[in-house]
Structure 1
Amino acid sequence: MKIDLPDIEPLLAALTERVAALAEAEGPSRCTLVGIHQGGAWLAQALQQRLGWQDAPGTLDIAFYRDDLTRGGLPDAVRPSRMPLDIDDRIIILVDDILYTGRTIRAALNELFDYGRPAAVRLAVLLERSGRQLPIAADIVAAPIDLAPRQRVKLRGPDPLHLVIEEASP
Structure 2
Amino acid sequence: MQQTSVLLDGPSMNRAVTRIAHEIIERNKGIDEVILVGIKTRGAYLAKRLADRIETIEGKAIRTGEIDITLYRDDLSTKQVNDQAQVQQVDIEYQVSNQKIVLVDDVLYTGRTVRAALDAVMDLGRPSQIQLAVLVDRGHRELPIRADYVGKNVPTAGHERIVVNLEEVDGQDIVKIVKED
TM-score calculated relative to the size of structure 2 = 0.81
Aligned to 2:6: 4
CA distance in 2, matches of 1:5, 1:66: 28
Would the aligned equivalents of 2:6 and 2:174 in 1 still touch at CA under 8 Å? no
TM-aligned CA deviation for residue 149 of structure 1? 1.7
Which is helix-richer, 1 or 2? 2
Aligned to 2:140: 131
TM-aligned CA deviation for residue 15 of structure 1? 1.8
1:163 matches 2:175: yes
Aligned to 1:118: 127
Aligned to 2:162: 153
1:50 matches 2:53: yes
Would the aligned equivalents of 2:72 and 2:120 in 1 still touch at CA under 8 Å? yes
Matches of residues 9-158 of structure 1 in structure 2 within 5 Å?
9-24=14-29, 27-52=30-55, 53-70=60-77, 73-74=80-81, 78=87, 80-158=89-167
* CA-based RMSD: 2.4
TM-score calculated relative to the size of structure 1 = 0.86
Report runs of 4+ in structure 1 exceeding 4 Å deviation.
none
Would the aligned equivalents of 1:42 and 1:158 in 2 still touch at CA under 8 Å? no
Q: How many residues align?
A: 167
TM-aligned CA deviation for residue 56 of structure 1? 4.7
Which shifted more, 67-76 or 118-127?
A: 67-76
Cα deviation digits, residues 8-39 of structure 1 (max 9, x gap)? 22222222222222232xx4211111110011
* Overall identity of the aligned pairs, in %: 34
Would the aligned equivalents of 2:8 and 2:176 in 1 still touch at CA under 8 Å? no
Higher relative contact order (CA 8 A, sep 6+): 2
Which is strand-richer, 1 or 2? 2
